[in-house]
Structures are given as structure tokens and as C-alpha cells.
Amino acid sequence: MKKIKLPKNPHRGLKIFCHKCKRDNPTCNHYDVHKYKVVVHVEGGNNKKKTKVLTAIKYEDAVNEAIEFRKELEQNNFERVSDSLKKIDYVMLGALIEYQRYLEGNYRYSHLVKKISKDYQDECLRYCKYFFDNINPHKNVKTSSITLVDQIDVARFYTWAELQYGPKTFNKCFSEIKAFFTFLIKVEKIDMENPFAVYNAKKVIKRNINTLEKDEFMKILHAVENESGFHTLKKGKGEVKNMYRPYLVDGFKLALLTGLRREEIVVLKWSDIYISVKGIMFFMVSNIKVEKAMNNVSHEKYWKYVPINQDLFGFLKDLGYEDKKATSEYILFPEREVKTLTIMNDLSKGFSHYRNKAKIKKEVSFADLRKTYLSWVNAVVHKETGILSSHSTHEVLKTFYLDPKILSTIEEAALKIQVFGT
């Protein structure tokens, strides 16, 4: 949060207030909870004061808000309307700033704060900002009360959003803005109705879960080794790009035989292989997606377990398991001189290119290799599939020793799973 400041000769009564220290003009560095505050002395009131913590984030706006506050007091014989009604109000931009503090965990009611990822925070705020951008030509978001948002504003934004988003993103957008107003009403106790309480959500057509058959996968591998890698880009000036990479076949096989995501495959190392006391081999890797979603604030490790069945072990032997086991070398493309993100993108784009070259009409992508793997895993371990696919938070007790439930699932999967059933 940007540090707010006062000039050398500030507007009368204007101060900076720290929500954490509960002090005016503090010397602390809690800049994320500093706000402008105005103090007005009551005329003939024996040194009585009326104060208000302002919503403005710019000094000029704070001055205007302070002037309006003084006018309100003078018009009401120095009795605050908000005091008598016991309600909170914000200008629109101020309400969004308060919501941002809530999402970021810098909220004054710490017991109400939820831990959410930075990406999700940004997404929530982005939709709200789009809504305010849509309102601003009609109502100044810096000076208009948030309680003035009405159905006309929602209808105007609804029409705009229909042209911008597909059904799924449209519904997410409206859901997040509804949550913003719910926060203002339920948590901040602003006296208003939720303008997004009722709206017609878009119907989302459920996408088919595509998996590959063995012959389709083999055709794609054959295309990598035998078809042209050159592809003419649709956008631009007809640029021709070579989609071939020497690690594509190995990357596709690793994705199919492990069920890992791109970001997990490209950082997979030989040292990630463990052996249980019964001699069952498996990969134990960080669940990057879950750790990122949790913002990794607790530093707890989230593990993903990949049983090494006969098919996978045979492939690892072809890649040099006997010589490379226990080394910290990457399994895929160890001689890399490019960023991991580049390899990730090459895998996805390369798969789509060679799928077309193989004349596979089914709309499958690189991500569908994971779905194919999990469908075969589910055929073996059923309800325990989640232990292998995602979200397990169990710590390793000692090297090679795991929670018995996890270990038994890994052992069963390693002995029985066969992708494509052969």
C-alpha cells in the first residue's frame, strides 16, 4: 500500500491515523493501515471534538471530504447524521479500498480475514474496478456514496459484460462483485441492499472431459517424429514457426504416465523418486498449484504422489534411470538453456500442432493427458484417486515412511495401474 502523507501546512484538523497503533500522525511504518482523519472542534463545546476517519487515498480528496464533514456538522448543530443513524458509509472508491484491505489480510477485524491467494485477490479487485470504470462516467466514484449504486448501474454493466466475456467468466465476474457488496453489507454494516443480489446468470455448457485412446496417442508421437514441425501463425504477417522440440515425445509420455501438470513435469527430478519399505517406487513432488493458491503463508508442504508402475519405470529406464537415480538432474530435457516457462509453452503448443498433423479430430489438448491418466487411476483406486492427484497435505514422517493410507494407495496403484489398460 502506498504511504500517505500530509504537506507542511495541512488543511485544518487533517491528520493521519494508524488503525493498528490507534494514534494520530504516527511514526510507525504500518503504512498499509494508515488513513486520513479529520478532527473538528465543536463550537462552544468545552473542547469537544468530532472526528472521522476518511476514505480518501489522495490528500486533495481528503481535504474535500474533510470540508464536507465540517459542513455536515455545522448544518446539524455539530451532531453527525451518521452518529445518530449508527451507520457507516463510503464513497465508492473508498469502499473498494476497504475491500482491498480485507482481501489482502490488512483488515482491522483480523478475526474475519480469510487467507486467499494473491491471484484470487487481483481477480476479485479487477472485476470490481471494471464495474467502477463503467459507473464513473455517470457517477463520480471518488465522491459518490457507494449506497447510490442502483439497478441502472447494474443493467449498464450487465450489457457491457455480455460483450466482453463468455458465460463462465461472466458468471464469475458478477459473483465476485456480488461478494464485494455482501462484504459491505454484512461486514462493514453499510445500510443498503445488494444491487447484485438478483441477476440472470449465463448458462454454461459443460465441456466434455476428453481423454485419448492408445491409437490416438501413438499417432501423435508418430507425427512428432515424422511430420513437419513448421506452422504458419494465423495472426501477424504469416510468420512461420518451427514447433518441433527434441523433448516433446518424452514430455508427452511423462504427462501421460504420471498425470502431472506442465509446471510439475518441467521441474521433475530424479531425486524426487522414493522407495517404500516394501520396495514400491513413487515420485513425491510439491503440489505447485495448491501451494500457490494457498499463497504459501504457512510454509506447509503440499505433496503429490505418483506411483511408478511398470510402464513408467520402463520409460524411466530408457531415460537413464540406472545412471541418474538420486541425482538432482531434471528428468525432462536436462541440458536446457531456456526457461521452464518456455518448455511448458512448447509442450502445449507442440501437442496441439502434432495432434493436427496426426489428423486427430477430437479436440484434445496437452492437459487432457492428465485427464487420461486420472481416468485409469480412478479405475483402480476409485475414491482414493484424490490422494494421488492433488491436495494431500500430509508431511513425510521420516524418509520412506508415509501415512499408511497414502502408502497403501500408492502401492496398490503402482501394482495395478496400466494406462490404456494394457
Grid look-up 489428423 returns 359
Q: Any idea which of 22-26, 246-250, 322-326, 327-331 has the lowest mean pLDDT? A: 22-26
Crossing angle between the packed helical segments 167-182 and 151-164, to the nearest 10 degrees: 150
Grid look-up 511430420 returns 227
Torsion angle, alpha carbons of 364, 369, 374, 380, to 10: 110
- The total of other beta-carbon atoms located within 10 Å of residue 43's CB is 10
Cell of 315: 520409460
Nearest to 366 by CA among 292, 264, 235: 264
> Cβ neighbours of residue 73 under 8 Å, at least 6 residues apart?
40, 42, 50, 79, 80
Between 205 and 316, name the one with better pLDDT.
316
Phi and psi angles of residue 315, each rounded to the nearest 5 degrees, phi first: -65, -40
Q: What confidence tens digit (pLDDT) does each residue in 11-53 have?
A: 998 999 887 777 888 888 888 888 899 988 877 656 678 888 8
Asked if residue 357 has pLDDT above 80, the reply is: yes
Measured CA to CA in angstroms, residue 55 lies from 74, 94, 138, 384 at distances of: 21, 5, 20, 50
> Cβ neighbours of residue 207 under 8 Å, at least 6 residues apart?
none
Nearest to 245 by CA among 134, 128, 335: 335
Report the alpha-carbon distance of residue 54 to residue 373 in Å, rounded.
56
Question: How high is the pLDDT of residue 393?
Answer: 39
3-state secondary structure of 275: strand
3-state secondary structure of 158: helix
Phi-psi region of 328 (alpha: psi -120 to 50; beta: other; left: phi over 0): alpha
Question: How high is the pLDDT of residue 89?
Answer: 67
Report the alpha-carbon distance of residue 300 to residue 212 in Å, rounded.
35
Phi and psi angles of residue 23, each rounded to the nearest 5 degrees, phi first: -130, 150
Question: How high is the pLDDT of residue 111?
Answer: 83
| Side chain identity at residue 360, one-letter code | I
Phi-psi region of 248 (alpha: psi -120 to 50; beta: other; left: phi over 0): alpha
Burial class for 316, CB neighbours closer than 10 Å (0-12, 13-18, 19+): buried
Report the alpha-carbon distance of residue 380 to residue 387 in Å, rounded.
13
Is 214-421 in CATH node 1.10.10.10? no
Q: Any idea which of 81-95, 98-112, 191-205, 349-363 has the lowest mean pLDDT? A: 81-95
> Cβ neighbours of residue 123 under 8 Å, at least 6 residues apart?
176
Rg (CA), the chain: 29
Q: What mean pLDDT, rounded, does the chain reach?
A: 81
Q: What confidence tens digit (pLDDT) does each residue in 59-68 have?
A: 999 899 989 8
Q: What confidence tens digit (pLDDT) does each residue in 80-100 have?
A: 444 433 445 688 999 999 999
Report the alpha-carbon distance of residue 38 to residue 78 in Å, rounded.
14
What pTM does this model have? 0.52
Cell of 194: 445488494
> Cβ neighbours of residue 190 under 8 Å, at least 6 residues apart?
87, 88, 89, 90, 95, 146, 147, 184
Report the alpha-carbon distance of residue 413 to residue 258 in Å, rounded.
12
Domain borders along the chain are: 14-85, 92-187, 214-421
Q: Which residues pair with 330 in a beta bridge?
A: 269
> Cβ neighbours of residue 138 under 8 Å, at least 6 residues apart?
153, 156
pLDDT band at 311 (very low <50, low <70, confident <90, very high): confident
